[in-house]
Structures are given as C-alpha cells and as structure tokens.
Chains A and B, each alone.
Chain A
Amino acid sequence: MVSRRLALICFVGLTLFHRVPQARGAGIEQIDLRVEGMT
C-alpha cells in the first residue's frame, strides 16, 4: 500500500516537474533593433 502511494507521488512529481534539459549556455543575450520614425 505504501509503495503504491509512493509510486503515485513519484509519478505525479515527475510528470509535473520534468523538463527536458536545455543545452548549457543556450539562450538569447540581446536583441538589436534599428528603427525609423523615432524623434
């Protein structure tokens, strides 16, 4: 009974918090725009 409950908790926890690991260092640092019409 305890092990079934533990298995259920583990399943729910993993389902909710599982994330595919992102590549180390991946991400957007900066977005540069050139615009017109700015006063």
Chain B
Amino acid sequence: MQQHLRRQDGVAKVDVSLVDGKVAIYPREDSRFDPAAIFKAVYDSGVSVVEMTVLASGELMSDPARGLVFKIGNSEVFGVKPNDVSQKLKDQIGSGKVLKLRGLLYRKTSGKAGRKPPASMPLEILEVLN
C-alpha cells in the first residue's frame, strides 16, 4: 500500500503503521489534493478507509453557492460541514487570516466500505491549531 500511495500524483511521503492501522500521507508542495483519488488508491491497494482527516492551513470564506468553505490554495476549496467549532469561527470568515486546522473529511458509518468514495466529502473542523 505504501508503494501504491507513493506513486499517486502529489504524494511526497507515506508512513504506514501496521499495528494501529494508520497511514500518514505528506503531500508535495504546490500539489493538488484529491480526497477521492486517495480513497480509491487505498481501496485499490487492498484495504479500505475507515476515517480520513487532514491537517491544513487556509482561509474560511463564504461562497454564494456552497455556503461556508475552507480555501486552501488557488483551486482547492472544501465545503465546511457546520458544527460547534465552525460556529465559533464566524468572525474569521472572509478576514483573510490563515487558519491551521485539523478536519474530518470522511468517517465510515456502517457496513462495508465501498470502492467508490462518497459523492461529497465536506470538511468538518475538529480543532483550530493557531
């Protein structure tokens, strides 16, 4: 799996912990992150994703079509799933301040995880680190 993930576009390094069933992926700078592609690549390597979290820095913005979004780069925008943490960050929306946060993109709910990633993977902010 480590080899398979490392071959994905934009992946710099992959750490796998067999004991915990945890995988850490470090993207290259200036690369685009596609959660659906990671999800599929993991499945193709013979295992399935139970949970996917991301550590990222970016800006909270309000999008007329999508509502609250977290803009990481020029083209990477994640819709934000409202929760208590996002409610507390209302003052930061559109302020231009770069927030470093840990967010949840996917958590398996029930049954067997499928090959296909969910249609949408909104970011649920778990904690703000700055």
Contacts and interface: CB of A to CB of B under 8 A. Distances in A.
A binds B: yes
Interface of A: 19-20, 22-39
Given A22-B74, A26-B72, A33 B55 contact: no
Given A23-B57, A26-B71, A30-B54, 13 more contacts: A25-B57, A27-B56, A27-B57, A32-B23, A32-B53, A32-B54, A33-B23, A33-B51, A34-B50, A36-B113, A38-B1, A38-B21, A39-B18
A29 to B, nearest CB: 5
Given A20-B74, A36-B47, A38-B47, A30 B55 contact: yes
Nearest to B13: A30
Contact of A32 (B55, B57, B71): B55
Contact of B48 (A23, A26, A35): A35
Interface string B11-39: 00000101011111111010001010010
Interface residues of B, number: 39
B21 A35 contact: yes
Contacts of B20: 34
Contacts of A20: 74
B42 A27 contact: no
In the A-B complex, the 8 residue pairs with the smallest Cβ-Cβ separation, listed nearest first, are A34-B51, A37-B47, A33-B23, A31-B25, A30-B55, A28-B56, A35-B47, A34-B50
B24 A31 contact: yes
Contacts of B54: 28, 30-32
B64 interface: no
